[in-house]
Amino acid sequence: MPTEAAGQGHRSAYVSSAFADRLFLWLTAGAGWIVFAVLVGTAISMAYGGREAVQTFGWNFIVSSDWDAVNHKFGALIPIYGTLLSSAIALLIAVPISFGIATFLAEVAPPWLRGPIGMAIELLAGIPSIIYGMWGLFIFAPFMATTVEPWLTENLGPWPIIGPLFVGPPLGIGMLTAAIILGIMTIPFISSVMRDVFQAVPPSLRESAFAMGATPWEVVRKVTLPHTRSAVVGAIFLGLGRALGETMAVTFVLGNAHDFSASLLMPGNSIAATIANEFTEADSPIYLSSLVALGFLLFVVTFIVLAIAKIMLSRVERRMG
């Protein structure tokens, strides 16, 4: 009898454990499918909301620079151009600075200094974007208008190739100002991820390199970066995703002008800023549909960027074995 009772107890425990495993599988799979369903639902709802603009303008909606709310002619080329250009310049600013911050915190800074600087970076990441926008409009834009932009126009404007990028009146607000603000906002995200992955490198690898006479820069270049290459690329694309979708800070300092200009000093527009500025002013179905279609285009652009990041990460991982 005791043997029979023990066998029944084992079977009951096995059944209970199997049920718990299945329940755990169902719950985790459900959580994953919920994320997928929300993503697909968001894309479908935006595509449905912008269907009138797509049916009216077709591919011309993407390649046209017209944005005439009075005559109901809308094109997304200038917002797309402004979004991509401002995000690209922001990355050019943020990536080197973020790499320097992460390298300093992981390789150079003494332990007593790493904590305060790391906390300051995390606090920067937590500042609302509207605060960056107000700071940019009331403090940084006047500084750009009185100091930076006149110098750029005077010294770089006459250059044959890059000169057209830096000509124009010193307004303070414009593409360059918005890109710098975006770069400042992106730095905390990229540098935090880089710092964490740099500190995750096994200490034995660093110590071995130092024991062979390597300098700190050689350790970073030949040990840390190869070991964390995929995570660094992921951090950069995380910052790019942040820059692409930023709204309020860009709205304050971009100028919100539907004009195409090669100069970085002139006002421009972006997809997020256009939606934020004009959504409450949409007085016709085609106007509202065009704004929703802009949101769908931003969704598509972000998806393409993340897909490219995933492909790059896969290639990096294959090369590293």
* pLDDT reported for residue 317: 65
Cα 232 to Cα 111: distance, rounded to the nearest angstrom = 23
Cα 272 to Cα 281: distance, rounded to the nearest angstrom = 15
Q: CA 255: distance to chain centroid?
A: 21
* pLDDT reported for residue 12: 62
CA dihedral 117, 118, 119, 122 (to 10 degrees): 120
Res 267 pLDDT > 50: yes
Written as six digits, the tokens of 113 are 């200094």
% residues pLDDT > 70 (the chain): 93
pLDDT tens digits along 207-248: 788 788 878 788 888 888 888 887 888 888 888 888 888 888
Task: Output 94 or 58, whichever has higher pLDDT.
Answer: 94
Inter-residue contact 298 to 87 (CB < 8 Å)? no
Written as six digits, the tokens of 188 are 């905390």
Strands (E), the chain: 67-68, 73-74
pLDDT tens digits along 107-120: 888 888 888 888 88
pLDDT band at 93 (very low <50, low <70, confident <90, very high): very high
Cα 183 to Cα 240: distance, rounded to the nearest angstrom = 10
CA dihedral 294, 296, 94, 176 (to 10 degrees): -10
Lowest mean pLDDT among 123-137, 158-172, 307-321: 307-321
* pLDDT reported for residue 135: 93
* pLDDT reported for residue 2: 52
Residues 26-49, mean pLDDT to the nearest whole number: 88
Inter-residue contact 129 to 246 (CB < 8 Å)? yes
* pLDDT reported for residue 247: 83
* pLDDT reported for residue 13: 57
Q: Pick from 153, 157, 184, 182: which is nearest to 82 by CA?
A: 182
Residues 14-38, mean pLDDT to the nearest whole number: 82
Task: Output 214 or 136, whichever has higher pLDDT.
Answer: 136
Q: Considering the chain, what is the average pLDDT of its residues?
A: 85
* pLDDT reported for residue 1: 47
* pLDDT reported for residue 175: 92
Task: Output 25 or 312, whichever has higher pLDDT.
Answer: 25
pLDDT band at 138 (very low <50, low <70, confident <90, very high): very high
